[in-house]
Amino acid sequence: MIRKITNQAMPYSWGSRTLISDYLGIHATGQPMAEIWFGTHHASMASDLEDATRSLLELRDQKPLSFLLKVLAADSPLSIQAHPNLEQAAAGFERENRAGIALSAAHRNYKDAGHKPEMIVALSEFEALCGFRSVEYVRELLEDIQSYPATEDLKEAAELWRSLLDDSLKALVSHLLHSRAQFGVLSVALAALASFDGRFELCYRLNELYPGDPGVFIAMMMHHVHLQPGQALFLPAGNIHAYLSGLGVEVMAASDNVLRGGLTPKHIDVTELESVVNFSDKPVSLVHQVEVASGLIEFKTPVDDFILYRVEPSGGRLLADLQLGADAVALCTAGEVAISNSLGEREVLKRGEAAFISNDAKLTSFAGSGTLFVAVGRD
C-alpha cells in the first residue's frame, strides 16, 4: 500500500507563521504553524488524504507506528527539556497512573510508557542548544561575570554559583532550577552583559522572551549549535536541549514524554527532570550520514525505533528495488518524487506532501527530481 496522508499544523505559540508555508508550499493558516505530525500518535494523528475520516492507525489495522515523523518550524525558543529512557518512562507512567493523574492534566509528566530519542535534520539554518559544556568553560564564564561591571547581586550570585560548580555541574543546575522565584533581577543583569561580551547576546534574547527564567543562564551552560541545511543532530534520552529557531524534519520514537526545565510557561517538575538528565559534559557530534547508493543517504543513529533516509532521485537517476524492511512514512520537501512498488502501486508526491508506505510489497522504487525523507519503523 502507498497512500497519501495529511495532517493539520499545530498552532503552538513558538511556531513560525511563514517557514512551513514558504518552504513546503503548504497553505498558511494565519496562525503559528509549529509542527505537522505524520504518524499514529493519538495527540495528532495523520489521516488518509482522500478520506479524512480514516486515520493512519486504521490504515495500519490499529497497529501504532514505532516512530513519529514531523516538520518543525520554530520562530522562538522551545522549552529547555529532556526525555526519559525506557525504564524511567515505564516507571513514571505507572506511578502517575497509580496516583490517578489524568493523561490530560497539565502537571502530568508521563503521557505514555515510551522513550523519545529524536533527531532533527535542518531544512533551513537551524539553531539549537544541546548538552552541557565543560565545567572549565562554565567556571571561566562565571569568573568573567565577576570581572565585568555587573551588578553586585549578579557578582554575589556568580560567586555562589562557582562554589556550587566546585561540587558538581548538577549541583549548580539544580540550584538554578530551584531559584526561579529569585531569578528576575539576575536575568536582567545577565542580559545587560551583552553590551560587554557577545557570548551574553543569547541571555539578552532569552530574557526578552522569558524574563526572570533560570533558563536564561542555563542556556549559557549548554552547547550553542548552528546547523546548516542538511546537517542533523541526534538527541538521546537524558540529553538536555532546546530548539531556538529554524525549520527541520524531525523523527523520534512515538512518545510524548517531555520533562521541561525552563523557557516555558508550561509545567516544570524540577525533581523529575533532575532524575532523567545526563549531567556529563560531552562535545556535540553531528549525525553521521552514509551514502548507501547514489542519491540515497542514511542518517546513522544508535536506536532501533526508526531509520531515516534522504532520497534524492534526479531525471537520470532511478532509485529502484529498495527493501525498506518495515512500514514507512515519506515526506517530500522539494520537487516531485514518484513512489512505486512491486505490486504495481504508484503515488507522486509534490513538495509538502506525505505518504504512508506499507511493507507488504517488499520492494519500493523512487523516481523523479526532488528530495524525499523516508522514515522506516520497527515491525
Q: Is 254 helix (H, G, I), strand (E, B) or coil?
A: coil
* Count of CA atoms in the C-beta half-sphere (13 A) of 13: 7
- What CA–CA distance (Å, rounded) separates 23 from 71? 11
**Residue 260 annotated among the catalytic residues of the structure:** yes
Helix and strand counts by DSSP (H, E) for the chain: 10, 19
Q: Output DSSP code: residue 287.
A: P
What residues does 314 pair with on adjacent strands? 317
The residue written with cell numbers 520537487 in the block is 335
DSSP state of 220: G
- Residues 34 and 12: beta-carbon distance below 8 Å: yes
Strand, coil or helix: 82: strand
- H-type alpha helices, the chain: 19-24, 56-59, 86-98, 135-147, 152-167, 169-177, 184-192, 201-209, 215-218, 270-276
Residue 12's φ and ψ, nearest 5 degrees, are -60, 145
Query: Which residue, chain included where needed, has cell 518524487?
Result: 337
The single residue of 3, 133, 260, 310 carrying the catalytic annotation is 260
Three-state secondary-structure class, residue 346: strand
* Cβ neighbours around 14 below 10 Å, total: 21
At which residue does the C-alpha cell 517538575 appear? 269
Cα 179 from chain centre? 27
Q: What is the 3-state secondary structure (H, E, C) of 288-305?
A: EEEEEECCEEEEECCCCC
Catalytic residues: 260
